[in-house]
Amino acid sequence: MHSTTAATDSELSSLVMAGEVVLVDFSAPSRCAPCRQMLPVVARTATKLGNRCKVVMMDTDETSTHQSLGIRSIPTLVLYKQGQVVWKHEGLISEAALVKAVSEFC
């Protein structure tokens, strides 16, 4: 996958349960300036990772997965591998730091 894709709660659950390596951007770009800042960073990261990892965006105003994960701050990035959370970051992060962190797992 070379770009980010919006996902529903059930779509994310299916990806995670299938054992996919999935980077999830939990954000609310319509009302959160830092979330909007992260959109191009996450998109470029998706391009750099290519098919090694799926990258999806979960709009916290339209989905509820973030609540079950206890996410109270956005943007929050969560990386799943084999159904487990293996990495999590709250707030802004540089593209280089994001690529480095995620590349360790995919």
Q: Active-site residue numbers? A: 32, 35
Question: Which two tokens mark 3?
Answer: 């770009």
Cβ atoms of residues 5 and 15 within 8 Å: no
Which residue is it, tokens 């973030």? 66
| Alpha-carbon distance values, 23 to 42, 96 (Å) | 9, 15
> CB of 62 within 8 A of CB of 5?
no
Residue with tokens 């105003």: 61
Asked if residues 10 and 94 have their Cβ atoms less than 8 Å apart, the reply is no
